[in-house]
Amino acid sequence: MNLGLVNLDTSHVIAFTELLHGDPDAFGGLRVTHAWRGASRVRGTADIEAYAARLRDEFGVTLVDDLDDLVPLVDAALIEANEGSRHLAHARPFLAAGKRCWIDKPLGATVLEAREILELAREGQTAVFSASALRFLPSVRTLAAGHGSITAADVQTPAPQHWANPGLLHYGIHGVEILMALLGSDCRRVHCVRGADSEVCTGLWADGRLGTLRCRYTGPHHYVVTAERRNEGSTLHQEQLMLADIYRPLVTEVASFLTTGQSPLHEADMLATIAFIEAAALSARLGGVGVELERWV
């Protein structure tokens, strides 16, 4: 399959292309053949041009000047804009043409936009997949699938802020997805309180379990997961996640999705992530009042 990169304002465009081209047998022979620079309010033009030059010179990727010109040249798209608010417009022409789209996190800037993307995929008889790489880390998967039920979880996550990708959309989404990988997507209410350089979100799941997300706007760039399990008794597991080779598990999932059309996540899982983020933002604005997710999902 020939893949097209859409919007080159993230290092993911290099990381993903390196993996796909460096080990084609492991990823079903998928190759990035074309790319469209796009625009960004998160990264400067110089960064976009640097990524474009590397893609062209190191990997033989052809650069196109217009998004619509890219659609007929590729079999599927990798939507890579940092800003979730750009994803609907970027995905629309590919979905209308019946072409599968990997959409880098977040799926959309709002639940309304995310739903529209999923509806466009249905209308085009194609499929969409969006997720954070952190959800597929081996340690997260092992913990989520391990013996015994997780009764509570706490995730500490970096969450640098950016006005063009507000709240947890910009970076805290990684922590949200870890939390949902551990507890499931059926969170029903979120309380969020913001301080000067951090915020804490508490989610209530449908079965009464609680999950907390501790977000740092500044400080160390690490993720710490604490989970309680109940078997015959209770056990407590805590670890700092190791981020070596972070993208390979995700690219493996993306390649499988693009090849088969089967997303590893249900639509409800992808929507729940955006709903949690949207509810947390509203709760914070209201001073920590609980916000129900049922209004969105």
Is 240 a residue whose pLDDT tops 90? Answer: yes
Predicted pLDDT at 15: 97
- Give the three-class secondary structure for 190: strand
pLDDT category at 231 given cuts 50, 70, 90 is confident
Is 283 a residue whose pLDDT tops 80? Answer: yes
How many other β-carbons are positioned within 10 Å of the β-carbon of residue 6?
30
pLDDT category at 232 given cuts 50, 70, 90 is low
Per-residue pLDDT reduced to its tens digit, 258-277 = 999 999 999 999 999 999 99
CATH class of 2-130: alpha beta
Q: State whether CATH 3.30.420.40 applies to domain 134-246+275-295.
A: no
Per-residue pLDDT reduced to its tens digit, 22-48 = 999 999 999 999 999 999 999 999 999
Domain ranges of the chain: 2-130, 134-246+275-295
Q: What is the pTM of this model?
A: 0.95
- Average pLDDT over the chain, rounded to an integer: 95
In a 10 Å sphere around its CB, with 0-12 CB exposed, 13-18 middle and 19+ buried, how is residue 158 labelled?
Answer: middle
Per-residue pLDDT reduced to its tens digit, 84-140 = 999 999 999 999 999 999 999 999 999 999 999 999 999 999 999 999 999 999 999
Instruction: Tell which wins on pLDDT, 232 or 192.
Output: 192
